[in-house]
Structure formats: structure tokens, C-alpha cells
Amino acid sequence: MKLRKVTAASATALALALAVTACGGDKDSDSGSGGGSKIKIGIKYDQPGLGLKQPDGSFSGFDVDVATYVAKELGYQPDQIEWVETKSADRENALARGDVKFITATYSITDERKQKVDFAGPYLLAHQDLLVKTGSDISQGTDLNGKKLCSVTGSTSAQNVQKTIAPKANLREYSGYSECIAGLQSGAVDAVTTDDSILAGFAAQDKYKGQFKLAGLKLSNENYGIGVKKGDTATEDKINKALEKMVSDGSWQKAVDANFGPANYKNEPAPKIGQIVQ
């Protein structure tokens, strides 16, 4: 009788162990392409040319192309990537919680952010700029005095322009850049300001091709990095090596041309890993 009880208990324990193992097989893993593992990557869903979720559920943009290349170098095929929307305000928390392995989402490297996360890269040097209509006579910041300048609510970009070069610019704050671009098209505003890469992504959309141009003012330096969880130096090192390879084999420039080319985006050369332009 005693032997049967032990056997039954052992059988129960074995069944539980098998169940736990089976459940664990669905979790994310760093093993790469083996065993159907997945990797979660944070991107933006609403930035054309950078990170955009298409109506069919697919994703496109420069950040998506960079992340896909990096993931492949880490051992993951495109069908093993799970894209996770990470809005600007939640990027640090998403990494700290382990919601994603890394984030490629117009994530500018700053001293403040480096207190909370680590960065690989940078992989793109962007600048604050202006987007205007192709036939506009606005070619420098001072031309904005008396003109309507649009940016999103809470952004510092428009205030930066007003404080430094065009104190008489009339600010218009909308909830999203899509609204600013629509306002520029209709004539409700005269210029839109944010990072040139973001502006170029919008301008490169088929419905806007040829309608807008970048002023090329370079009002700030934005060093885009790939965010990883604080202390995850192993992943940071692997991503840096992947970025170096992406530049050296020509894939980086192809991604720039494909996503920003239609807007005649004058991109900076690929930045050196660890080199932050102030």
C-alpha cells in the first residue's frame, strides 16, 4: 500500500513537471532560430518611414528594417519577431518590465535616459528641422516670424524654434503629426517641426510625394539608439556588432534610401558606434 502511494505521488509530480515544461516552451527565449523561439521588439506604430503598422497588419519603416536586421544577427528570422508598440512615454518601463528585448523607436540617446536604460548604437543621426510646401519661400528659421508653425502637443520642438530663431512664429499644437501634415497640405499651417527623419517619413508617403520639402536647418542633434534593459551588456554588445555589419555590407544605406529617399532626405553618414554628436 505504501509503495503504491509513493508511486502515485511520483506520477503526479511527473505530470506537473511535464505540464510546466510544456507551458515554458511558449516563453520568449534567446536561443534564436532553434525551437520556434520568439523575440519581442519595441517599435512605433504610427510613424511613416520609421515604424508604421500597415492596414494588413504588416510593419514597415527604417526602424523596422534595422530591428529586423539586428534580430537576424541575433539568430531570429522575421517570422520569429513579435512587434510591440512602445510609445515614447513607456519605453523605459517596457524595458524594465521585460516586455521587450530591445527598442528601436526614434529613441534619442540622452544622459537622462541613460540613467534608466542602456543604448546600443547610435544607428542614425537626425536633426530637428522644418517641413514646408515645395513652393514655400521659407528657407530659414527667421522666415517663420508671423507664420503658423505646427508641432504636437507637449513637444519641445516648436517652443525651441520660437525661443531661438523665430520669436514671432504663431504656434499651432495638434494631437499628432498626421494632423500637422494634413494642415500643411491644406494651408492651415505654414511649416511643421520635429526630427527631420520623422518629417521625411511622412513626406515620403505616396499621397504626399512631391508636395513637401525639408528646410535643412539642423536645429538639434538627435542620436537614435537601440534601447536595452539596464545592465544587459551582452545584448548591447551583440546589437552593436550587428549594426556595424549592417553598415559595412550596405544594408544600412539601402534602408535609408528605401524609407526616406522619396522625400530627398539628406541623411548624415552612418554614425560610429558609441559616438554621440552633441
pLDDT score at 22:
40
For residue 5, pLDDT beyond 60: no
For residue 8, pLDDT beyond 70: no
**Domain range summary for the chain, segments of one domain joined by +:** 35-126+223-263, 128-214
Least confident of 4-8, 83-87, 101-105: 4-8
Q: Identify the sign of the CA torsion 23, 27, 29, 35.
A: positive
Helix (H) or strand (E) holding 89: none
> What value does the mean pLDDT take over residues 109-117?
94
157 contacts 151 by C-beta, under 8 angstroms:
yes
pLDDT score at 14:
38
Model confidence at 49, pLDDT cuts 50, 70, 90, reads: very high
For residue 177, pLDDT beyond 60: yes
Among candidates 240, 176, 235, 237, which has minimal Cα distance to 202? 176
Class of domain 35-126+223-263: alpha beta
Say how far apart CA 155 and CA 163 lie, in whole Å.
Answer: 14
Kindly report the average pLDDT of the chain as a whole number. 87
pLDDT score at 7:
43
> What value does the mean pLDDT take over residues 261-266?
79
Model confidence at 263, pLDDT cuts 50, 70, 90, reads: confident
pLDDT score at 23:
41
- Specify the amino acid at residue 13: A
| Digit-coded pLDDT (tens) for 208-256 | 989 999 998 898 899 999 999 999 999 999 999 999 999 999 999 999 9
Say how far apart CA 69 and CA 236 lie, in whole Å.
Answer: 15
> What value does the mean pLDDT take over residues 145-161?
87
Among candidates 82, 87, 80, 78, which has minimal Cα distance to 45? 87
pLDDT score at 36:
59
25-42 b/e (C-beta count within 10 Å ≥ 16 → b): eeeebeebeeeebebbbb
Report the CATH superfamily, name and number, of domain 128-214: Periplasmic binding protein-like II (3.40.190.10)
Q: Determine if residue 210 is left, alpha or beta; phi over 0 gives left, psi from -120 to 50 gives alpha, anything else beta.
A: left
Q: Is this model's pTM higher than 0.85 or not? A: no
pLDDT score at 163:
86
pLDDT score at 31:
53
Say how far apart CA 276 and CA 271 lie, in whole Å.
Answer: 8
128-214 shares the fold of 35-126+223-263: yes
